[in-house]
C-alpha cells in the first residue's frame, strides 16, 4: 500500500511500456490541475457560490485524484500487457512443439519457424531471440525472453529449451514440457472463468447498490412529502 502511495514502482512500470518519466509527470500535473479545478468548482457550486476553505480542500482532493489517475492507468497498462504475453506463451509453445520434429530438432530453426505464426508483441521478441541465438549468445538470450514473459513457467521452460539448444533435444523432457503446456492452458482457462465471474459479480453488485439507492431515495422522497402534508 505504501509503495502505491509513494509510487515507488513508477520507473519499472515506465520501462515496461517504453515510457518516459518526464511525459508521465507532465500528464500527472495536467490531470491534477483539471481534477483540482473540477473539485473546486463542484464545492463552490454546492456551497452556495461562496469561496472558502472548503473550496480549497475540494481542489486539493480533486488534484490528488487526478495525479493518481495517471499512475493507476500506467499500472493497468503494464498489467494488461503482462496478461497478453502470459496468454501468448502457451500458444508459442504449442507451435514450437509441433514444429520441432519438422526442423529435425534444431531449436533455433524451430524458433524461427514458430515466429512466423506469432502475433505481436511476442513475435518481435521471438525474432530477437532467434537473432541472438544465431549470434551464439547462449542461455542469457533464452532467459531474457523468459523474463519478458514474466512467469515462473516461462523461466523453467526457456531454461529447458536453452539446454536443448546446447546439448540436443531430450524426448522425455520434451514430453514433460508438452504436459506443462496443457496444464498452463487449463490454468489459464480457469483464471479466465474466475475473472469473468468476478466481472459479472462486480456489475451485479453495482446494479444491486444502484437499485437499493433508488429505493431509499424513493422512500425518502415519499416520507418527506408525507411530513410536508401533515405540517400543512
Domain range annotation of the chain: 1-79, 84-191
- Would you state the cell numbers that stand for residue 175, as one nine-digit string? 514430453
Single out the residue of 86, 105, 83 nearest to residue 96, CA to CA.
Answer: 105
Q: Is 0.75 topped by the overall pTM?
A: no
How does DSSP classify residue 170? Answer: -
CA distance 112 to 51: 67
Cα angle value 35/41/43 (rounded, 5°): 105
pLDDT, residue 152, reads 86
**pLDDT tens, per residue, the chain with 232 residues:** 666 677 888 998 888 788 899 999 999 999 999 999 988 888 888 877 777 788 888 889 888 988 999 999 999 999 888 888 888 998 899 899 989 999 999 999 999 999 999 998 899 999 999 999 999 898 999 999 999 998 888 999 999 999 999 999 988 888 888 888 778 777 766 666 555 555 555 555 555 555 665 555 455 545 545 555 555 4
Other C-beta atoms closer than 10 Å to the C-beta of 24 total 19
Chain position carrying cell 544465431: 134
pLDDT, residue 2, reads 63
Contact by Cβ (8 Å): 21, 10: yes
pLDDT, residue 128, reads 95
Give Cα separations from 95 to 7, 121, 147 (angstroms). Answer: 39, 16, 20
For 186, the 3-state DSSP assignment is helix
The count of C-alpha atoms lying within 13 angstroms of the C-alpha of 97, restricted to the half-sphere facing its C-beta, is: 21
Amino acid at each position: 500500500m505504501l509503495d502505491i502511495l509513494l509510487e515507488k514502482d513508477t520507473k519499472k512500470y515506465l520501462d515496461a511500456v517504453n515510457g518516459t518519466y518526464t511525459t508521465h509527470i507532465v500528464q500527472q500535473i495536467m490531470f491534477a490541475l483539471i481534477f483540482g479545478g473540477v473539485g473546486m468548482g463542484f464545492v463552490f457550486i454546492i456551497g452556495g457560490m461562496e469561496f472558502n476553505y472548503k473550496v480549497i480542500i475540494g481542489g486539493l482532493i480533486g488534484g490528488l485524484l487526478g495525479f493518481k489517475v495517471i499512475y493507476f492507468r500506467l499500472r493497468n497498462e503494464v498489467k494488461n500487457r503482462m496478461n497478453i504475453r502470459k496468454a501468448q506463451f502457451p500458444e508459442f509453445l504449442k507451435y514450437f512443439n509441433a514444429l520441432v520434429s519438422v526442423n529435425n530438432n534444431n531449436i533455433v530453426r524451430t524458433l524461427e519457424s514458430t515466429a512466423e505464426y506469432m502475433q505481436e508483441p511476442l513475435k518481435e521478441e521471438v525474432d530477437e531471440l532467434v537473432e541472438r541465438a544465431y549470434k551464439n549468445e547462449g542461455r542469457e538470450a533464452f532467459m531474457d525472453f523468459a523474463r519478458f514473459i514474466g512467469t515462473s513457467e516461462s523461466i523453467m521452460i526457456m531454461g529447458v529449451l536453452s539446454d536443448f539448444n546446447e546439448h540436443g533435444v531430450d524426448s522425455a523432457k520434451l514430453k514433460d514440457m508438452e504436459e506443462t503446456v496443457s496444464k498452463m492452458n487449463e490454468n489459464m482457462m480457469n483464471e479466465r472463468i474466475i475473472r469473468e465471474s468476478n466481472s459479472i459479480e462486480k456489475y451485479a453488485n453495482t446494479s444491486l447498490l444502484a437499485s437499493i439507492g433508488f429505493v431509499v431515495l424513493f422512500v425518502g422522497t415519499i416520507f418527506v412529502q408525507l411530513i410536508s402534508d401533515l405540517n400543512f
